[in-house]
Structure 1
Amino acid sequence: MNHRRTFLKQAGMLAGAFSAGSLFNQLHAASWEQAAQKISGLSPELAAADEDYWSVIQQGFTVSPAIINLNNGGVSPSPRIVQEAVERYNKLANEGPSYFMWRILDQGREPLRYKLATLAGCQPDEIAINRNATEALNTVIYGLNLKAGDEVIGTLQDYPNMIQAWRQRALRDGIVYKQLSFNFPIENDDEIVAAYEKAITPKTRILHVTHIINWVGQIMPVRKLCRMAHQHGLEVVVDGAHSFGLLDFKIPDLECDYFGTSLHKFLSAPIGSGMLWIKKEKIEKIWPLTCNDKPNSGDIRKFETLGTRSFPIEQGIGEAINFHTAIGSKRKEERIRYLKNYWADKVKDIPKVKLHTSLKADYSCAICGVSVDGMTPAQLDGALFGTYKIHTVGIVWENISCVRITPHVYTRIADLDKLVHAIEEIASGKKA
């Protein structure tokens, strides 16, 4: 009973995750601090290769030893403490849903909003908590006051759900949706910016930019695109599904107007959690995706009238933030880039093997596309899993045809050595 009263007190005041009694503090704080002290004198780039430190981080996950999961670009596993937080809050909610959900757990959204804003480098009143990047960005896409003839510029390589949302606005409202096409990798920001700028006409109102192209991991020059767009009087919507929690940046530094992301990718928050950021002065003009009694207000919370939703998932985000913050954004970014380069450098010169992603730090981080001559992406993906139990994903989209491979902080060097061995054997024809 004493334990229960303590937990209820934490849940009521701070939703647990941001209190001294958080699961992270209970299970990891001491050992992580000790491990971090050993690399305190190393730059993030050098710390990225310290396997003793990262072995401590890896112990926080519960990934299956039966497969090697290298499709973290789709959705990442949550650390143990995040899973346990969701389970704990779910059990609590089911003891009396209408009481514990609405009167206890619902009070945790404001502390969570504050912590997300701290991570994002923005004001809390610019952050709405929702379920994924699709919901966040569809809120903006459908909420903008655009009229027939107004133009939006995106690319064929953007995420399908965003493409379809803009196409539906074109069908419904008569806007003009124009799509550029790029042949990635591109190691020249000016080439990308010039392509967008060339497509602008007097009717253009919006640029839609994907921060990291999900198919092959190309990092787009978002800030340069935003500055160019603003010079033309345009607004910029940024799809940050694969960048938030991976790259070390603050959202306002991108200089965009709207930003949506999924938190269940590189932040490793519970599956089905996301975030919308809208520049403070622009909130008022965006219509909510779902109903609200004050749809024209400047309160970011108008985008959270989703009805009954999973409060346990929301509160599990808090422990994911603790986990991420304890590693450090820059250290985490460099570790994941190191893991991607580790395997990619070893396979890039193998006969018949082709990389579809730049290995330069300015243009990629976690995601890398690879192909083997004479094999379709489905065949290569099937061979990797069927023979080696390496889980990846085959990509065939517009002018992109490859297998996408994405490690995360829990990925072991030994697993990447197995990947390299597998690609060597497959490319040589020994296994297929």
Structure 2
Amino acid sequence: LQVQQAFTLDRTLINLNNGGVSPSPRVVQEAMRRYLDYSNTAPAYTMWQILEPEIEAVRRRLAASFGCDPEEMAITRNASEALETVQLGIPLERGDEVLTTTQDYPRMLTTWHQRERREGIVVREITFPVPPPSQDDLAERIERAITPKTKVIHVCHITNLTGQIFPIKRIVQRARARGIEVIVDGAHAYAHFPFTRDDLDCDYYGTSLHKWLLAPHGTGFLYVRKAKIASVWPLMAAPPEMNGNIRKFEEIGTHPAANHNAIAEALTFHEGIGAERKAARLRYLFQRWAKRLEHLPRVRILTPYDPAQSCGLASIAIDGMDPNKLVAYLWDTHRIIVTPIVHKEFSCVRVTPNVYTTVAEIDRFGDVMEEVLRKGLPT
């Protein structure tokens, strides 16, 4: 109850699209306002001289949470900025291959395809079923697709479409043995379910903090293993003396200190709940609605129940029903927010509760979905 009341929410609606962006708890909003108000008293001094250096404390806390050296942690504005820094900064030559999947995030695929058009690299996208038979199947599909020209593998830690968790450590270690770089898209993973860098053994990891950490909107981080920093060009120019410094990836010009300093309050809130407890709650909410609906006609749950393969983000497909029309009906008639997924390989509705979501709200979603499945959408 204390967690549910820690947010400034509109409870006349049911927000089950926390995968896009989540609300921050009141304490995070208050911290951000406090920093912003202080910045505006004399920004050339208060923001640049006082608040900006405090990013180092945030860096240390994020690094401790992720399990890396603070000198490997860059604070960014979102996962896209973090990942594109590496995608566009890793040296590649014409003909080099990048291996990814058709279910990776569209913006990241667009980044690779732009580089393909501009520099002549080759982007190869593999498919996999939803849900897959196992994590081993996912790893084997990637391993079978590797060629002598493969230089980079780009893979989601957890997909944004169905919430499928990938076996990152196996993929990374098999690729490293063949001299292949692996970039991990962790936009939906960090603070969603517990793990550390050592559980992944990755060299590059980008995430957003305004999803599952509940940090201010427009915050993220980029992890780069220390030995790799010097070989990656920053997205925006940095002086040569910063070549081996993780802060070169933060050289973006003037930006508010309030956003990144308030990350510290979000970390405190997250740690107060506890990562294991939070993940257990999110899995419970997912399975509460999914197991209620899975046996109904035409329903397919596209997300595995295995806790090694999923957490709170999940998707439901209803054969013969347009997800866009279903999503519009849920909002227009019942003020329930979910996400339509229309992919070239499948269509579904994505459901993403968060820690503030009540059991009553999940059950209301289940009630409405049962009614839709029984009566159909109104014409």
Superposed pair shares fold, TM > 0.5? yes
Larger Rg: 1
Per-residue CA deviation, residues 324-367 of structure 1 (Å, 9 max, x unaligned), is 01111111111111111111111111223221211221211111
Query: Aligned partners of 2:9 and 2:176: how far apart in 1?
Result: 44
Letter matched to residue 127 of structure 1 = M
Query: Aligned partners of 2:344 and 2:176: how far apart in 1?
Result: 29
Q: CA deviation at 1:145?
A: 0.8
**Residue 379 (structure 1) aligned to one of 325, 343, 346:** 325
Residues 77 and 219 in structure 2, CA contact (< 8 A), matched pair in contact too? yes
**Residue 83 (structure 1) aligned to one of 29, 53, 66:** 29
For 1:260, the equivalent position in structure 2 comes to: 206
Q: Which runs of 5+ in 1 are unaligned?
A: 1-54
Q: Secondary structure at the match of 1:56?
A: coil
Q: CA deviation at 1:271?
A: 0.4
**Residue 209 (structure 1) aligned to one of 129, 152, 155:** 155
For 2:102, the equivalent position in structure 1 comes to: 156
Residues 312 and 352 in structure 2, CA contact (< 8 A), matched pair in contact too? yes
The aligned runs of 1:118-267 (5 Å cut-off) are 118-267=64-213
Query: Aligned partners of 1:373 and 1:295: how far apart in 2?
Result: 58
Per-residue CA deviation, residues 95-153 of structure 1 (Å, 9 max, x unaligned), is 11111110111011100100000110110000000100000000000100111111110
Residues 238 and 256 in structure 1, CA contact (< 8 A), matched pair in contact too? yes
Query: Aligned partners of 2:172 and 2:7: how far apart in 1?
Result: 37
Distance 1:430 1:396, change over 3 A: closer
Q: Secondary structure at the match of 1:275?
A: strand
Residues 326 and 377 in structure 2, CA contact (< 8 A), matched pair in contact too? no
For 2:349, the equivalent position in structure 1 comes to: 403
Moved more, 296-305 or 241-250: 296-305
For 1:117, the equivalent position in structure 2 comes to: 63
Q: Which runs of 5+ in 2 are unaligned?
A: none
For 1:300, the equivalent position in structure 2 comes to: 246
The aligned runs of 1:311-326 (5 Å cut-off) are 311-326=257-272
Residues 161 and 315 in structure 2, CA contact (< 8 A), matched pair in contact too? yes
Q: CA deviation at 1:295?
A: 7.0
Q: Secondary structure at the match of 2:75?
A: strand
Residues 260 and 277 in structure 1, CA contact (< 8 A), matched pair in contact too? yes
For 2:7, the equivalent position in structure 1 comes to: 61
Letter matched to residue 393 of structure 1 = T
Q: CA deviation at 1:167?
A: 0.6
Query: Aligned partners of 2:326 and 2:84: how far apart in 1?
Result: 34
Moved more, 69-78 or 384-393: 384-393
Per-residue CA deviation, residues 12-40 of structure 1 (Å, 9 max, x unaligned), is xxxxxxxxxxxxxxxxxxxxxxxxxxxxx
For 1:394, the equivalent position in structure 2 comes to: 340
Per-residue CA deviation, residues 377-404 of structure 1 (Å, 9 max, x unaligned), is 0111112112211100111022120010
Q: Secondary structure at the match of 2:6?
A: coil
Residues 59 and 70 in structure 2, CA contact (< 8 A), matched pair in contact too? yes
The aligned runs of 1:359-374 (5 Å cut-off) are 359-374=305-320
Q: Secondary structure at the match of 2:213?
A: coil
**How many corresponding residue pairs?**
378
Distance 1:376 1:107, change over 3 A: same
Residues 287 and 295 in structure 1, CA contact (< 8 A), matched pair in contact too? no
Query: Aligned partners of 2:344 and 2:261: how far apart in 1?
Result: 38
The aligned runs of 1:40-51 (5 Å cut-off) are none
Query: Aligned partners of 1:300 and 1:293: how far apart in 2?
Result: 12
Q: Secondary structure at the match of 1:325?
A: helix
Q: Secondary structure at the match of 1:341?
A: helix
Letter matched to residue 428 of structure 1 = R
Query: Aligned partners of 2:36 and 2:12: how far apart in 1?
Result: 28
Letter matched to residue 401 of structure 1 = S
Q: CA RMSD in A?
A: 1.2
Query: Aligned partners of 1:334 and 1:358: how far apart in 2?
Result: 15
For 2:216, the equivalent position in structure 1 comes to: 270
Q: CA deviation at 1:430?
A: 6.1
Query: Aligned partners of 1:62 and 1:346: how far apart in 2?
Result: 30
Q: Secondary structure at the match of 1:115?
A: helix
For 2:38, the equivalent position in structure 1 comes to: 92
Q: CA deviation at 1:371?
A: 2.6
Q: Secondary structure at the match of 1:395?
A: strand
